[in-house]
């Protein structure tokens, strides 16, 4: 896939990218087996483990968790009212979309108590081992301390295109807007009205500016990380893309990622370079 060659021009020391399609094709460029720090791309992995815990009956989406009045659902959707990086209540549950690392730490604590094992171990057993993600680890916060490779994340992307570990209905609900109409800040891209989110997944909708492409469908979901990483799944294109770098997110990424995504989508649809 020629569109992947665009990562060669990114102002980063090292980049790896992989595109996965629903019909089983895979295209890669860069060191696909190199381990990169994921930052907030950790969150979709953590959220998937939480959703598996829900399906297993260890917890429920509407079970109390986090600050008073908050539930597992609120925490997954960044609607618990917790502050960005500390367990301080800033709003009532469901009142605002406050992007919160502290909320994911509260989730991890809740799941650890519900399952009787450390969250990192539950994530490993529930998600990483079944998907063969042997080089992926969580060493610290469930919000940001994951590390993985493009190969491993491609396996997760394939799972998001055609779930085996979760019921399709569960994933569809997780990648649909939860608590619709809430405004909030999309880190790195400013205030969004609304700032729609699913259960652990950012929803593209019609946000502008955004880290995906101008041609990404509104149903696109995923996450990006402050270590210069992203994962998106576009159901309308029946494709997903992972990009990992070793340079912190900044203006370079906001400028480079959208045209890269548009080039990938154009090539997949037959409108771009072959």
Peptide bond into 4 cis (omega under 30): no
- In terms of residue numbers, what domain contains 14? 2-268
Measured between its terminal Cα atoms, the distance across the chain in Å is: 7
pLDDT at 271 over 90: no
Q: pLDDT tens across 224-238, in order? A: 999 999 999 999 999
Domain total of the chain: 1
Flag whether 182 is in a domain.
yes
- Residue 30 and residue 1 in contact, taking contact as beta carbons nearer than 8 Å: no
CATH number of the domain to which 124 belongs: 3.40.710.10
Flag whether 274 is in a domain.
no
pLDDT at 176 over 80: yes
DSSP string, 50-90: HHHHHHHTS--TTSB-SSTT-BHHHHHTT-S-B-SSSS-B-
pLDDT at 32 over 60: yes
Other CB atoms within 10 A of residue 218 CB: 13
CA 229, CA 31: separation in Å to the nearest integer?
A: 14
Flag whether 273 is in a domain.
no
**CA distances to 37, 166, 250, 270 from 100, in Å:** 19, 25, 20, 39
Specify the 3-state DSSP secondary structure of 7: helix
Structure tokens at 151: 């190969």
Q: pLDDT tens across 95-148, in order? A: 999 999 999 999 999 999 999 999 999 999 999 999 999 999 999 999 999 999
pLDDT category, 272, cuts 50, 70, 90? Answer: low
């Amino acid at each position: 896939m020629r569109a992947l060659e665009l990562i060669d021009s990114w102002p980063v020391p090292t980049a790896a990218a992989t595109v996965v399609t629903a019909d089983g094709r895979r295209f890669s460029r860069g060191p696909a087996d190199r381990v990169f720090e994921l930052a907030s791309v950790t969150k979709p992995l953590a959220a998937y483990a939480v959703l598996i815990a829900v399906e297993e009956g260890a917890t429920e989406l509407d079970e109390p968790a986090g600050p008073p009045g908050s539930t597992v659902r609120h925490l997954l959707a960044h609607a618990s009212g917790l502050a960005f990086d500390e367990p301080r209540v800033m709003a009532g549950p469901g009142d605002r979309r406050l992007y919160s690392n502290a909320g994911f730490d509260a989730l991890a604590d809740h799941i650890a108590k519900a399952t009787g094992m450390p969250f990192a171990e539950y994530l490993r057993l529930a998600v990483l081992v079944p998907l063969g993600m042997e080089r992926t680890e969580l060493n610290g916060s469930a919000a940001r301390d994951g590390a993985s490779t493009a190969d491993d994340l491609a396996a997760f992307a394939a799972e998001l295109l055609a779930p085996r570990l979760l019921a399709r209905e569960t994933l569809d609900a997780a990648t649909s807007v939860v608590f619709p109409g809430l405004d909030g800040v999309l880190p790195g891209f400013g205030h969004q009205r609304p700032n729609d989110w699913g259960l652990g997944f950012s929803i593209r909708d019609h946000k502008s500016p955004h880290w995906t492409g101008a041609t990404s469908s509104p149903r696109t979901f995923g996450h990006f990380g402050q270590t210069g990483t992203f994962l998106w799944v576009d159901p309308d294109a029946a494709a997903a893309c992972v990009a990992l770098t070793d340079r912190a997110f900044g203006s370079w990424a906001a400028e480079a990622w959208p045209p890269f995504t548009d080039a990938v989508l154009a090539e997949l649809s037959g409108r771009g370079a072959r």
